[in-house]
């Protein structure tokens, strides 16, 4: 999800090139676990700097277990309570639903988070895409297909393509799962079917390339999206309709991102 999510985030942050990194000390790896277990309830000076910074953008780079999420959580509370920022002027994005739940519960114990845009990349993008569905030629009631339904579609399309043009590939679940993961990886990189080169060599990539347009048509026929469609849809919304991007930039005074991860 790196390409689409990073580009989507950068779109909302016009000052991204001005980020000031806050780099905590890098202790030897063998000390990470003890540090995490004995974590103080009070932030250290570098964490405090990130929490209370007035810079337009702050980038925190730190190894696992050093308190990045705690810093983000404390900054949320600091902005809401100490700075009096209205909750609907803050956008907070986390990588997993578990992290979102933890942020909502722990910050909500101190102040009202109602109105805050807080969610995973996919849920935030789904909210944006649904609000502007007509600009993307999507029905408002579109559904997000679970992985099982995606596999079923791919299995049917692969079987049809195999009858049309034999591929020297092992059959079964592993092949279909690999085709689906290849499709999702292309979509996460922002590649449309026409932008994927066709090797025409009977390989797995050639098979995935052949079913990609049909997979998209199958989703369309069901008024459905998959998860990469959500982030890609938000990115295309910003690219094709600058007024929507301007509106979101004006709406949020603070954008907090917890653990943008690289995949693929």
Q: Are 252 and 24 in contact (CB under 8 A)?
A: no
228 inside domain? no
The whole-number average pLDDT for the span 136-158 is 94
Same domain, 132 and 249: yes
Same domain, 120 and 173: no
The whole-number average pLDDT for the span 43-59 is 87
235 inside domain? no
The pLDDT score that the predictor gives to residue 31 is 37
Tell me the two tokens of residue 182.
């290849």
Cα–Cα distances in angstroms (integers) from residue 236 to residues 39, 166, 175, in the given order: 42, 36, 31
Same domain, 40 and 96: yes
Same domain, 98 and 164: no
Q: How far apart are CA 249 and CA 226, in angstroms?
A: 26
pLDDT at 56 > cutoff 80: no
Tell me the two tokens of residue 45.
């000076």
The pLDDT score that the predictor gives to residue 30 is 37
Same domain, 152 and 214: yes
232 inside domain? no
| 67-125 pLDDT, tens digit each | 888 899 999 999 999 999 999 999 999 988 998 999 999 998 988 888 889 999 999 99
Of 30, 15, 21, 85, which Cα lies nearest the Cα of 49? 21
Mean pLDDT of the chain: 84
The whole-number average pLDDT for the span 21-30 is 45
**In CATH, what number is assigned to the domain containing residue 121?**
3.40.50.300
Same domain, 98 and 152: no
Q: How far apart are CA 113 and CA 251, in angstroms?
A: 16
Q: Are 12 and 248 in contact (CB under 8 A)?
A: yes
23 inside domain? yes
234 inside domain? no
The pLDDT score that the predictor gives to residue 41 is 63
The pLDDT score that the predictor gives to residue 26 is 45
263 inside domain? no
Same domain, 85 and 102: yes
Same domain, 133 and 152: no
The whole-number average pLDDT for the span 134-157 is 94
Same domain, 77 and 131: yes
- Edge-to-edge strand list for the sheet holding 90-94: 117-120, 90-94, 254-258
What are φ and ψ of residue 128, in 5° steps?
-65, -45
pTM of the entire predicted model: 0.78
Instruction: Please calculate the CA angle 218-223-229 and round it to the nearest 5 degrees.
Output: 80
Enclosing domain of residue 170: 146-221
Q: Are 128 and 239 in contact (CB under 8 A)?
A: no
Q: Are 150 and 180 in contact (CB under 8 A)?
A: yes
Q: Are 208 and 173 in contact (CB under 8 A)?
A: no
The pLDDT score that the predictor gives to residue 95 is 85
213 inside domain? yes
* Number of structural domains the chain divides into: 2
Same domain, 21 and 128: yes
Sign of the C-alpha dihedral, residues 60, 63, 69, 75? negative
13 inside domain? yes
Same domain, 72 and 130: yes
């Amino acid at each position: 999800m790196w390409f689409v999510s990073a580009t989507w985030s950068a779109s909302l942050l016009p000052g991204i090139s001005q980020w000031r990194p806050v780099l905590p000390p890098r202790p030897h790896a063998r000390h990470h676990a003890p540090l995490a277990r004995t974590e103080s309830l009070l932030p250290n000076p570098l964490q405090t700097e990130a929490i209370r910074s007035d810079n337009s953008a702050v980038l925190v780079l730190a190894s696992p277990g050093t308190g990045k999420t705690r810093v983000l959580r404390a900054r949320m509370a600091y902005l809401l309570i100490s700075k009096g920022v209205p909750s609907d002027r803050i956008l907070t994005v986390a990588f997993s639903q578990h992290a979102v739940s933890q942020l909502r519960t722990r910050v909500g114990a101190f102040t009202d988070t109602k109105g805050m845009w807080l969610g995973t990349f996919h849920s935030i993008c789904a909210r944006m895409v649904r609000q502007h569905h007509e600009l993307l030629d999507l029905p408002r009631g579109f559904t997000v297909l679970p992985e099982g339904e995606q596999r079923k579609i791919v299995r049917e399309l692969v079987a049809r393509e195999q009858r049309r043009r034999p591929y020297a590939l092992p059959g079964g679940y592993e092949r279909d799962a690999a085709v689906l993961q290849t499709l999702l990886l292309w979509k996460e990189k922002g590649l449309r079917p026409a932008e994927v080169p066709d090797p025409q060599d009977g390989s797995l990539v050639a098979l995935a390339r052949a079913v990609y347009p049909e997979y998209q048509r199958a989703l369309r026929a069901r008024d459905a999206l998959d998860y990469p469609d959500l982030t890609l849809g938000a990115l295309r919304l910003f690219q094709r309709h600058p007024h929507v991007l301007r509106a979101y930039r004006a709406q949020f005074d603070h954008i907090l991102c917890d653990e943008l991860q690289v995949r693929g």
